[in-house]
Amino acid sequence: MRILILCTHNARRSQLAEALLRSLAGSRCEVYSAGTEPSQVDPRVLTVLGELGIPVEGLRSKSVEEFRDQHFDVVLTVCDDARERCPVFPGAPRQLHWSLPDPGQVQGRPEEVLEAFRRVRDELLERLRQEILPLLP
């Protein structure tokens, strides 16, 4: 099974989801993430993943164009902008959307911002366990 997770910049939410799902699913599926306007992986993503011991090797911001002609069993958008702008993946039998807040937009002390990253990480972890893992072989 192949899963693609999309967000606008492929910097925060989709990177969190990619790393978390890879860790949860192991060899049961191939997981990728991409953005409609890729930038760079936010270092705070690496911090909150590291808190759970989730591997972060190989995480990089990628363009959705890298995956345009590939087949995916599930395409998941994790931000509203990406849902509106992402190309259609006609071969994907399941297209899901989760509207998650962008933790990078939170203003405040560094610890408050990091807490926003943790909240998104934890919500993703719960939703991946409940909604994606049951789909895997």
Domain count, the chain: 1
pLDDT: is 93 or 99 the higher one?
99
Least confident of 28-42, 71-85, 93-107: 71-85
pLDDT: is 36 or 86 the higher one?
36
Bridge partners of residue 95, in order along the sequence: 75
Domain at 73, CATH number: 3.40.50.2300
Phi, psi of 87 (to 5 degrees): -70, 160
Catalytic, out of 5, 6, 79, 92: 79
- Residue 83's pLDDT is 60
Coil, strand or helix: which one is 48?
A: helix
Range of the domain at 85: 2-131
Quote the pTM value.
Answer: 0.94
Catalytic, out of 86, 100, 116, 120: 86
42 lies in a domain?
yes
The verdict on whether 29 is a catalytic residue reads no
70 lies in a domain?
yes
27 lies in a domain?
yes
Mean pLDDT of 60-67: 94
**Distance (Å, rounded) from C-alpha 22 to C-alpha 91?**
22
136 lies in a domain?
no
Confidence at 81, pLDDT banded by 50, 70, 90 = confident
Mean pLDDT of 23-28: 96
Q: Residue 33 region, left (φ>0) first, then alpha (ψ -120 to 50), else beta?
A: beta
Residues ≥6 apart with Cβ < 8 Å to 43 = none
Catalytic, out of 3, 4, 5, 7: 7
Looking at residue 104, its amino acid is: G
Residue whose pair of structure tokens reads 């930038």 in the numeric block = 39
137 lies in a domain?
no
Mean pLDDT of 68-87: 81
Provide the mean pLDDT of the chain.
93
